[in-house]
A and B are shown apart, each in its own frame.
Chain A
């Protein structure tokens, strides 16, 4: 069931233009090396993709912990 559900969410995110940010991998508790490798690879991938475009998009800004992540609106100031 998990695999079906995750596939669904992956497909949905792809349709939304948020592809590649969700990954499912079966790792047994005995596979420490595989775990390390998958996590390292995925971290690298996500770092490469950069911050999610959704992050802080519409939640009212809280000053911390991620100050200023939201798309900022500049008030033109003249005079």
Chain B
């Protein structure tokens, strides 16, 4: 059964109240919510290599209507994001119906196992001063000493225009108070933002949370290799905590200081 039919059926049977997917408009695919009220839009439903963090839309919708039943067209990365959001209690699996679609034709980036887009090309100046999108983190460590690594990262971070695109597109960024906007952590009002703190604060928050969809790197207008950075954060998390975000429904080791405290306070006289 083709996807349009499936979505129509889900909506008609009342399995979902809204189905999040894409719609073609003037040759561009844009995110769209299909409901019983606009079934005729379904003829424009299209699946292609275009991506958007539909899970984020689902999170926002759920915030407003906690019992809303949401269908989502999902690739592997969307499914990882959903898993992560379930474990952080941002969405509940019983309200979400993912409709799995194939990943785009494989033209893998070297530093990624995602099948999205062609590998980005890295310009000569960026190769010289900054970081090659397609470099392997291990090669990066081997080929650059401590000082070189620092100066390469600072070059990349200094291009930042503080647009918050990386955060805003991120399917697993859901905090109501964002540390990046905390004046004690990152001084507001400066361009570039305070570096490397701005980016390290975000990197720390991505550890154990990033599901490696790469949308941040695609969204970044300054071509900062964010995916490269967060992948390494996750490599460390995997080594140290033996945890891979989004792989399953296992709770993140980081929730221990989050909304779930499992340790009992020690008695005073112990």
A interface list, Cβ under 8 A from B: 1, 4, 7-9, 11-12, 14-20, 53-54, 57-60
Contacts and interface: CB of A to CB of B under 8 A. Distances in A.
Given A17-B148, A58-B195, A11 B236 contact: yes
B42 to A, nearest CB: 46
User: Interface residues of A: mostly helix, strand, loop or mixed?
Assistant: loop
Q: How many of chain B's residues touch chain A, expressed as a range? A: 35 or more
Given A1-B256, A4-B240, A15 B232 contact: yes
A9 B196 CA distance: 14
Contact of A58 (B141, B144, B190, B232): B190
A14 B154 CA distance: 14
A78 B144 CA distance: 39
7 contacts: A11-B239, A12-B203, A12-B207, A16-B153, A17-B145, A20-B146, A58-B195
B196 A12 contact: no
Interface in B234-251: 236-237, 239-241
Contact of B194 (A1, A14, A18, A59): A59
B109 interface: no
Contacts of A4: 240-241, 253
B149 A8 contact: no
A20 B239 CA distance: 19
B194 A17 contact: no
Given A16-B150, A17-B151, A11 B240 contact: yes
6 residue pairs, one from A and one from B, having the closest CB atoms: A17-B150, A17-B149, A11-B236, A58-B194, A17-B146, A19-B146
B187 A60 contact: yes
A15 B229 CA distance: 9
B265 interface: no
Nearest to B137: A15
